[in-house]
């Protein structure tokens, strides 16, 4: 009960603060794959009105959106490049070589991986900066960078090559770095194998798609970690939930999870209640992001 109380308070505050904010967007951007052909789609939050935005077939698994701009990457013969385009699919422009890109919340900067560490660049291609490099001795490497809503911090996972967890994946710490000073300001063990961490809109929590062992059994779910005291709560378990994102008001979460032998999009409240499946495509639908108005 003591662990649940902070999250109940945090989620209540998120809901109350949203009442003074903008109306909730009803569009969700995601990647859809079938027979290894992957493209970008947009759909309404009730599952209607699906539209295909790209016809590339080589879209990478991570994308990001800010109002009318999308950043994504695509790979061909082992080489990956990051692109910026309008939400309607127009003005598709190469930005840099790399992958796992994410737009800042103000839409002005992009954080991404380039195979040697984490980099930041403006959306017009200027002011490139490598903010952290992988360990020179090869002991650890960075993955899954994600912006804080204020644009001042980046969270990522630091993966250790010589430390393997019970699930067979490298042990990883969640690391928070100050963008301006490029100094690590916080680092902690999330008590699970944590895939892409995402910030809650008020920066009070980090969420991750988690794998862990409990009662000698493998478990999978979505966890929210309080940045106040590092307590955590598993808000949904089972179905191997993958990448996910908060709604702009913080009330809901959109995520991908296996259902009927395919990966489909679902929406739930931030406390894990009211789970609703919104895609039934019999393909891999994943990497969902809410489109802010």
pLDDT single digits (tens) 194-250: 877 789 999 999 999 888 888 888 888 999 999 999 999 999 998 777 778 999 889
pTM of the entire structure?
Answer: 0.85
Q: Which whole-number Å values give the CA distances from 158 to 50, 138, 293, in the listed order?
A: 36, 12, 33
53 touches 42 (CB < 8 A): yes
| Cβ neighbour number for residue 273 with a 10 Å cutoff | 9
| CA–CA gap between residue 176 and residue 205 (Å, rounded) | 12
Residue 234 has which token pair? 């598993």
User: Using CA of residue 264, residue 156, residue 159, residue 99, what is the dihedral sign?
Assistant: positive
| CA–CA gap between residue 105 and residue 102 (Å, rounded) | 9
Would you state the pLDDT for residue 24? 47
73 bridge partner residues: 82
Would you state the pLDDT for residue 292? 76
Would you state the pLDDT for residue 12? 46
Q: Which segments of the chain have a pLDDT < 70?
A: 1-25, 165-170, 293
Domains of the chain: 4-15+24-290 (2.120.10.30)
Would you state the pLDDT for residue 215? 84
| Cβ neighbour number for residue 180 with a 10 Å cutoff | 10
| CA–CA gap between residue 109 and residue 123 (Å, rounded) | 5
68 touches 91 (CB < 8 A): no
Q: Which whole-number Å values give the CA distances from 60 to 2, 72, 193, 284, in the listed order?
A: 40, 7, 22, 13
């Amino acid at each position: 009960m003591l662990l649940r109380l902070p999250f109940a308070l945090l989620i209540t505050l998120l809901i109350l603060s949203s009442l003074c904010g903008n109306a909730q967007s009803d569009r969700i951007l995601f990647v859809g794959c079938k027979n290894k052909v992957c493209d970008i789609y947009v759909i309404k939050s009730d599952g209607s009105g699906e539209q295909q935005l790209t016809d590339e077939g080589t879209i990478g698994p991570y994308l990001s959106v800010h109002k009318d701009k999308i950043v994504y990457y695509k790979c061909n013969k082992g080489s990956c490049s990051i692109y910026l385009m309008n939400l309607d699919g127009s003005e598709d422009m190469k930005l840099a070589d790399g992958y796992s890109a994410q737009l800042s919340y103000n839409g002005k900067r992009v954080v991404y991986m380039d195979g040697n560490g984490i980099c930041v660049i403006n959306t017009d291609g200027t002011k490139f900066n490598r903010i952290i490099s992988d360990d020179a001795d090869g002991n650890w490497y960075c993955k899954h960078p994600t912006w804080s809503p204020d644009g001042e911090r980046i969270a990522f996972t630091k993966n250790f090559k010589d430390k393997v967890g019970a699930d067979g994946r490298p042990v990883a710490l969640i690391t928070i770095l100050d963008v301006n000073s490029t100094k690590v300001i916080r680092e902690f063990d999330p008590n699970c194998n944590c895939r892409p961490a995402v910030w809650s809109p008020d920066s009070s929590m980090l969420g991750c798609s988690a794998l862990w062992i409990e009662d000698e059994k493998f478990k999978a779910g979505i966890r929210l970690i309080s940045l106040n005291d590092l307590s955590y709560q598993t808000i949904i378990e089972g179905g191997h939930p993958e990448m996910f994102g908060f709604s702009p008001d913080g009330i809901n979460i959109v995520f991908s999870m296996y259902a009927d032998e395919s990966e489909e999009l679902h929406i739930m409240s931030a406390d894990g209640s009211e789970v609703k499946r919104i895609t039934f495509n019999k393909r891999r639908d994943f990497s969902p992001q809410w489109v802010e108005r």
